Structure 1
Amino acid sequence: MEADGRWTLQGNTTIVTGGTRGIGHATLEELASFGANVYTCSRNQMELEECL
């Protein structure tokens, strides 16, 4: 789903835990597509670096 102009999160900051895979990663991508500043964390440093 792409941002179609109806919704914007421009200027909002979000935190997604577990953003390197699964639902967390999908959520991270969706929030970013709507313009949000997204912060994430992971238990695995290598996966986190690959995700970014």
Structure 2
Amino acid sequence: MAKETVNMRIDPELRAKLVEMAKQQNRPLSNLIETLLWEAVKREFMAKRK
């Protein structure tokens, strides 16, 4: 699957927390963010199916 670039602005404190989470999980920040977004999307779809 091809990847696309998304530019966005986030609060520096949020970014710092995300960087720390990524380090703890030993993975790149972009991978962590993509995973968190997928989880949020899946939760939303599951909630609408009920």
Q: What is the TM-score of this pair, normalised by structure 1?
A: 0.30
**Which one has the bigger strand percentage?**
1
Q: What is the TM-score of this pair, normalised by structure 2?
A: 0.31
